[in-house]
Chains A and B, each alone.
Chain A
Amino acid sequence: MSGGGAGVLHSEARVSVELQTPEMTLNIGPQHPSTHGVLRLVAKVDGERIESVEPVVGYMHRGYEKLAEVRTYPQLTALLNRIDWTAGLANEVPFVVAAERLMGVEVPERAQYIRVVLTEMFRISAHLLFLSSYPLELGASTPLMYALREREHVLDLIEGVTGGRFHPNFNRIGGVKPAAGGGKGQRSVAQDLPRGFLEQTRRAMAKVFEVCDDMEALVRGNEIFQQRTKGVGIIPVEKALEYGVSGPNLRGSGVRFDLRKVEDYLPYDRFDFEVPIGENGDCFDRYVVRLEEIRQAVRIVTQAVDGIPAGPLRARVPRVIKVPRGECYVRAENPKGEMGYYLVSMGGRGPYRVKIRSASFSNISVLPWLLEGALVPDIIAILGSLDFVLGDVDR
């Protein structure tokens, strides 16, 4: 700045004020209303903006892969449905299919249809749970009540068939469990599906359809919800692929890829359903994809239930199950994403090594990249939209 005329005080003071706002380290979790379990995020925050985030996991590590080495195959199916507890039966399916492949056992059709029906019901249950808890984290507490009410119908159905709402332990190597229990005396009266199951299912599915429409009006169309979620947490496709993000998170970014269409672990090719995708990969798209997936799951359940063939529930397998040597990788489209089991068997009654590929582990590994530069309230919106479960992350 040049001085003024002669004799005038000219100050060339260039005042540059840099507001020193110290960085604050904010510990979000592990006990926190919105982190879906014991996830800890160590966030370096500057005001309301995040500089960096480091997720700390392992609070729920139960050592599944080590446990798998000291369990027999039937014992393992009881353990595995606790990995992603919202998806129950869907956790067991790829594992038993892997064991069946190695044994060369062909699963009867009826059992396969029942597996499809239950898997899709668990998908509906998991997504309804998401539909209810996500708006709650953003401040709207009413969708919680509506969605969970309808979810009860689905859980009642599952309970009627398997005896458990969350941990069905219903798969067996070679098929499914007879619903009324095995054993000599029971055999003559063993019914596989409870009486009235088909009718109840149709009614429950109609109600689920209705609640999806309710959610459309109440949440999806709500301007504030849209403002909170549109443009927030965009995952570009390349990043998603690099990090292994799968399931509705990947489909929200516009990739029309669904393992149910390309893998043959269950007879999905007999059913007619669509694969919804999003456009931008933001939180709103992920919400919409899951909402649509419920509708598609309802379609599959209705078709499957209408067409269940008669037949045995389980293939003839030896009483003591020994899986011959071999290695096999089977993956399935779980509600959270791609879940797979790499089974290494050396003969014997338990596996030699089981590598569990869980969807949420890969889904949240993208968090450090995704949350950089975001605002603190957006953490909640983004975390919720990834829809992960700590049991799935930590195994």
Chain B
Amino acid sequence: MSAHEPGLRDLVSEAVASGVWSEEFGTVKLRVPRSEWVESHRALKGRLPFFSWLSAIDWAADVAVGDAPEPGEETAEEIEERFEVLSRISDVSSGDGLVLSTDLPKDDARLDSLTAVYAGADWHEREAAEMFGIDFVGHPNLAALYLPDGFEGHPLRKSYALLSRQVKPWPGDVDVEAAGGDET
């Protein structure tokens, strides 16, 4: 993402006092407390009216991703188990935008719905609800969006194993294509 307008950071710190700003790899992320979720969106809506998406991440500590770290490699530190709900809003003039995020404990996965502020959050929240099992309080119709009737479970949780992965484990070393001209 190209550099954002310098005024954005000031505006954000003024509008959302409790937000923690971080910026890396060209992506601006603003962590807000759960209770301020809707308010912070409302405060920023004037400057960033475009609602891009809303989703969640299931942080689970005991998930192996790829190989185990080799000796000397950085080991993953303890991940705090939680749901992290992300939403992205941006503007349509200079291309500024930021990702707001908040943490939810897994045993109390409820969050206020954004549909009062951004009507477009409707479908995104429905998808997050069925995929993660998060309850969005105040949503007009939290019915399943993608999954068929009678589907049990929340697919995007790390605890939900893909059927194909139960039958056939993680393949391991499968990519063997040589990158053009090197063997490192």
Contact = CB atoms under 8 A, between A and B. Distances in A.
Given A243-B51, A243-B119, A263-B1, A342 B146 contact: no
Interface stretch (A11-19, A28-36, A174-182, A381-389): A174-182
A187 B180 CA distance: 8
Contacts of A101: 25-26
Interface string B158-184: 101010010000100111011111111
A329 interface: yes
A153 to B, nearest CB: 29
A172 B118 CA distance: 37
A259 interface: yes
B65 A340 contact: no
Given A72-B174, A316-B179, A365-B122, A327 B27 contact: yes
A182 B175 CA distance: 13
Query: Interface on chain B toward A: helix, strand, loop, or mixed SS?
Result: loop
A228 interface: no
B13 interface: no
B25 A328 contact: yes
Contacts of A72: 66, 174-175
B: contact size bracket = 35 or more
B66 A241 contact: no
Given A72-B174, A263-B1, A365-B120, A175 B66 contact: no
A362 B87 CA distance: 14
A241 B49 contact: yes
Nearest to A62: B146
A242 B120 contact: yes
A320 interface: yes
B133 to A, nearest CB: 14
Contact of A365 (B26, B123, B160): B123
Contact of A321 (B26, B29, B49, B175): B175
A262 B95 contact: yes
B99 A326 contact: no
B184 A355 contact: no
B15 interface: no
A355 B76 contact: no
Contacts, number: 174
Interface residues of A, number: 75
Contacts of A172: 179
A183 B92 contact: no
B109 interface: no
Contacts of B26: 101, 328, 330
Contact of B179 (A102, A259, A319): A319
A183 B178 contact: yes
A244 B1 contact: no
A66 interface: yes
A174 B182 CA distance: 13
Contacts of B50: 241, 244, 246
Contacts of A164: none
A329 B99 contact: yes
A316 B175 contact: no
Contacts of A243: 51, 119-120
B184 to A, nearest CB: 6
Contacts of A174: 179
A41 B76 CA distance: 46
A318 interface: yes
B31 to A, nearest CB: 12
A41 B24 CA distance: 42
5 contacts: A316-B181, A316-B182, A352-B65, A353-B58, A361-B123
> 3 smallest A-B Cβ distances: which pairs?
A262-B95, A348-B66, A58-B146
Given A175-B180, A242-B51, A327-B25, 13 more contacts: A58-B147, A66-B155, A69-B65, A72-B175, A75-B175, A101-B26, A242-B119, A261-B95, A262-B95, A264-B1, A346-B76, A347-B65, A355-B86
Interface of B: 1-2, 24-27, 29, 49-53, 55, 57-58, 65-67, 69, 73-74, 76, 86, 88, 92-95, 99, 118-120, 122-123, 131, 144-148, 155-156, 158, 160, 162, 165, 170, 173-175, 177-184
